[in-house]
Amino acid sequence: MEKKDKEKLIEKFFDGTISSEEEQELKKLIKEDASVKEAIQFQAALKKTMHEEDDMAWRKKFTEYEKEFSTVKRKEFPLIKYAAIVGFLVGLLISILWVIYRDNSTMKLYQAFYTPAENISYPLTRGIKMSLSIWLFQLMKKVIMKEPFHI
């Protein structure tokens, strides 16, 4: 088989367009001819290197883009970050001062809203007979209302 035919078979193998008959012929050539085996190994190493270099080129481009965009974001938003931190600290300070200085005396609250119940019409007692406390209460009521009373 001529050298050009061998090269065409190797190209078809790497392109993926080789038929099953041609593949059997290539396997036979690899067993018989060491130069074909070396050519296939060379093509495989070349393809792998090109793929790795292509990957490295893309990775380099992406890292450049990433650096470009990340530096823009860092320069664009530091004021908002500092404003948020200052706002948080001011809120924290106000909360702490409110807890410390608020008037939490329950007695003052009780005195501000407590009004004694006015029970001047009759005393709360049990039973039917008139006790001394009821008689005194009615007497006091007449005195306050400036009504005449009999003892």
Tens-place pLDDT, residues 98-136: 888 877 777 777 778 877 766 666 555 565 566 677 777
The Cα 73–Cα 65 span in angstroms is 12
Q: Widest CA span of the chain, in angstroms? A: 152
User: Could you tell me the pTM of the whole model?
Assistant: 0.36
Token pair for 50: 């090109």
Amino acid at 127: G
Token pair for 79: 């004021």
Count CA atoms closer than 13 A to 91's CA, side-chain side.
6
The Cα 17–Cα 11 span in angstroms is 9
The Cα 38–Cα 60 span in angstroms is 32
Return the CA Rg of the chain: 52
Does residue 37 surpass a pLDDT of 80?
A: yes
Identify the pLDDT of residue 87.
Answer: 95
Q: Across residues 61-68, what is the average pLDDT?
A: 76
The Cα 90–Cα 98 span in angstroms is 12
Question: Percentage of residues in the chain with pLDDT exceeding 90?
Answer: 9
* Mean residue pLDDT across the chain: 78
Closest CA to 145 of 114, 126, 121: 121
Identify the pLDDT of residue 34.
Answer: 84
Q: At 30, which helix (H) or strand (E)?
A: helix 20-32
